Structure 1
Amino acid sequence: MRLRKTARRISELADVKNECDGLAQKGAQRVAQTGFGALLGWWGAVYYLTFQTDLGWDVMEPVTYLVGLSGLIGGYTWFLYHNREVSYRSAMNFTVSRRQSQLYEKAGFQVGRWEGLVEEGNRLRREIMMVAEEYDVEWDERKEEGDEKVAEELRKARRAKEGKEGGKKGKEEAEEE
């Protein structure tokens, strides 16, 4: 009974979470596409000013050098400030997670509550499985979890937790050697 209630709550929140996650992903892709458009615009402007006007390469060379150097310094400063590795994936993850936080707040989605519900759902599932094994009964968890959204979210949380514990075990084993 408790698992069903928890599954219902997870199902309700999963819709909100998935919608916010999708919007955040699309927003981050738009930011990346805008950056690509800006780079194309920059190259077009440099080409035009170099070859189609009287400015020529003598004027444009120092401009392109200084703009490129400023971009490099600005990017380096940004990554130092945010303490992230310098990569496209890191910048994309940062953009997505920041937008997710904004959308969660706007939708009234509480991440702590979500994580607690998923953790409780997995704990209840584990307890029921242990009791079912103890009494030699087959238990169909799909009936209790309600729908596929709940099963998928619980599965994701278990995989994430196993990944973290696996990483810790690997470090401990390496230290023992």
Structure 2
Amino acid sequence: MEKLKSAIDTRANTLVRRELWGGLGFLVVQTMALMRLTFWELTWDVMEPICFYLTSTYFMAGYAFFLRTSKEPSFEGFYQNRFSTKQKHLMRLHNFDIGKYNELRAKCSPSTTPNFDSLAASPFGHSPQHN
């Protein structure tokens, strides 16, 4: 079960990293398009309200993320949320019983083994916080 959990965690991490790189690509393309529109096609007087509403939309998306997940709308919070979602999906796909896994880990080493509900250790060097 350890090998399967490790493989699931590795795959979930890969999928989330791919999403994050895709998001960065989207933001780069969007910024280049806004620069092009601002300095060559249109003017700042036209683009200023567009950029304002775009920024407001991103703020509202961050606020909605917080309301939905009770996690800080940060890159780490987004990573943890997406990792947990991907991990749960992969566990269902591979018929991985997290309850049985936790039970076996507790029997093997009850005093030093953490209880994994669905999240693995964070790649940022500390364990994720649960609210």
TM-score (norm 1): 0.61
Which of 31, 46, 66 in structure 2 is aligned with 1:43? 31
**Counterpart for residue 72 of structure 2:** 85
Measure the CA separation in 2 of the matches of 1:107 and 1:86: 30
Which of 50, 73, 91 in structure 2 is aligned with 1:104? 91
In the TM superposition, residue 32 of structure 1 has moved relative to its aligned partner by 1.1
SS at match of 2:112: helix
SS at match of 1:97: helix
Query: 1:161-172 alignment to 2 at 5 Å?
Result: none
**Divergent runs of 4+, >2 A:** none
**Counterpart for residue 16 of structure 1:** 4
SS at match of 1:85: coil
The structure number with the bigger radius of gyration is: 1
Question: What letter matches 1:36 in structure 2?
Answer: L
In the TM superposition, residue 79 of structure 1 has moved relative to its aligned partner by 1.0
CA change 1:72–1:34 in 2 (3 A) is same
Structure 1, unpaired ranges of 5+: 1-12, 124-156, 162-177
Structure 2, unpaired ranges of 5+: 116-131
**Counterpart for residue 158 of structure 1:** 112
Measure the CA separation in 2 of the matches of 1:160 and 1:108: 21
The superposition leaves residues 64-84 of structure 1 with CA deviations (integer Å, 9 ceiling, x where unpaired) of: 011001110121111112111
Measure the CA separation in 2 of the matches of 1:77 and 1:92: 16
In the TM superposition, residue 159 of structure 1 has moved relative to its aligned partner by 5.1
The superposition leaves residues 35-69 of structure 1 with CA deviations (integer Å, 9 ceiling, x where unpaired) of: 1111101110001111221x211111100011001
Question: What letter matches 2:50 in structure 1?
Answer: V
Which of 2, 7, 19 in structure 2 is aligned with 1:31? 19
Identity %: 26
Question: What letter matches 1:116 in structure 2?
Answer: E
CA RMSD of aligned residues (A): 1.5
Instruction: Determine which structure has greater relative contact order: mean sequence separation of CA pairs < 8 Å that are 6+ residues apart, divided by chain length.
Output: 1
TM-score (norm 2): 0.81
CA change 1:159–1:120 in 2 (3 A) is closer
**Counterpart for residue 101 of structure 2:** 114
SS at match of 1:109: coil
